[in-house]
Amino acid sequence: MKIVVIGGTGLVGSQVVSKLGEHGHEAIAASPNTGVNTLTGEGLSEVLQGADVVVDVSNSPSFEDAAVLEFFRTSTGNLLAAEKAAGVGHHVALSVVGTQRMSDKGYFLAKAAQEKLIRESGIPYSIVHATQFFEFIKSIAALATDGDTVRLPPVLFQPLASEDVAKAVGRTAVGAPINGIVEVAGPDQFRMDELVGQALQAAGDPRQVVADADAPYFGDYAVDDTTLVPGDGALIGDVHFQDWLERQLAAA
């Protein structure tokens, strides 16, 4: 099976390409680095020739509201048009748990717009909603930092390792289109403030994490115990946070 992975040189995409290749598929990493640009359309028709499946795990280089919306509208529109012309039979996109609950602004508005384009394209599709990645816990802390204090809402979330995201995306890509959403999350739930505090302490970071029910998530979003966790029937990853953290500290 020929599977083109848009964003295939990034954190998740490179792992998707590797895992698909290990299972005997022809997995092609497509990104501006490889001459494929979904914003301009450059290289799309060439790379999609003979493709059975397209996996889109690309992301906007800017998270500014207007820029991220323009990125997903333009890149997804160009990609879907090229897929139709090439006769691609399955479009797989990576999105975010919480998109439906926070689709009124910012990044989540852009992801909701992307998903709408996919649903209305006429191409059989599967959308993978993933919870937050372990790899972005540092970013969560950075955006919540004021001096030596990190203010975070003590809400439930269920993050996972990027390698488990890649597994879920890869399995979805080689399966039949579901024309809907599948969720994937980590094996454990945490309070956000507690997990970030644990990660900072393990790294020797002197910042103090304070639980603040009014603190926003990622700088701008109001969340509660239902916003960032999956529903029933979600795929559950294998990697526990403590094991992932120990690997990161050992590598550092």
- Rounded mean pLDDT of the chain? 96
Give the pLDDT confidence score for residue 125 in this predicted structure: 98
Q: Is a pLDDT exceeding 90 seen at residue 195?
A: yes
Task: For the chain, list the domains and their CATH numbers.
Answer: 2-251 (3.40.50.720)
Measured CA to CA, the distance from residue 247 to residue 233 in angstroms comes to: 29
Place of tokens 């603190």: 215
Q: Is a pLDDT exceeding 90 seen at residue 104?
A: no
Give the pLDDT confidence score for residue 101 in this predicted structure: 87
**Per-residue confidence band for 124, with pLDDT thresholds at 50, 70 and 90:** very high
Residues 6+ positions from 158 with CB-CB distance below 8 Å:
131, 185, 186, 188, 189, 190, 228, 229, 230
Give the pLDDT confidence score for residue 102 in this predicted structure: 85
CB 101 within 8 A of CB 226: yes
**Per-residue confidence band for 63, with pLDDT thresholds at 50, 70 and 90:** confident
Give the pLDDT confidence score for residue 252 in this predicted structure: 80
Is 159 exposed, middle or buried, given 0-12, 13-18 or 19+ CB atoms closer than 10 A?
buried
Token pair belonging to 18: 């590797």
User: Can you tell me the mean pLDDT for 81-93?
Assistant: 98
Query: Does the global pTM surpass 0.75?
Result: yes
* Pairing assessment for the beta strands 125-130 and 90-96 based on DSSP bridges: parallel
Summarised one tens digit per residue, pLDDT across range 130-162 is: 999 999 999 999 999 999 999 999 999 999 999
Q: Which residue has the higher pLDDT, 180 or 65?
A: 180
Give the pLDDT confidence score for residue 172 in this predicted structure: 98
Q: What is the DSSP string of 100-136?
A: TTSTTSHHHHHHHHHHHHHHTSSS-EEEEEE--BGGG
Summarised one tens digit per residue, pLDDT across range 13-42 is: 999 999 999 999 999 999 999 999 999 999
Give the pLDDT confidence score for residue 4 in this predicted structure: 98
Give the pLDDT confidence score for residue 191 in this predicted structure: 97
The three-state (H, E, C) secondary structure of 205-227, written as one string:
CCCEEEECCCCCECCCECCCCCC
**Per-residue confidence band for 220, with pLDDT thresholds at 50, 70 and 90:** confident
Q: Is a pLDDT exceeding 90 seen at residue 177?
A: yes
Measured CA to CA, the distance from residue 186 to residue 183 in angstroms comes to: 10
Give the pLDDT confidence score for residue 105 in this predicted structure: 82
Measured CA to CA, the distance from residue 129 to residue 96 in angstroms comes to: 4
Q: Is a pLDDT exceeding 90 seen at residue 128?
A: yes
Nearest to 97 by CA among 244, 223, 5, 196: 223
Give the pLDDT confidence score for residue 47 in this predicted structure: 98
Measured CA to CA, the distance from residue 143 to residue 215 in angstroms comes to: 11
Cα of 59 vs its chain's centroid, Å: 8
Rg (CA), the chain: 18
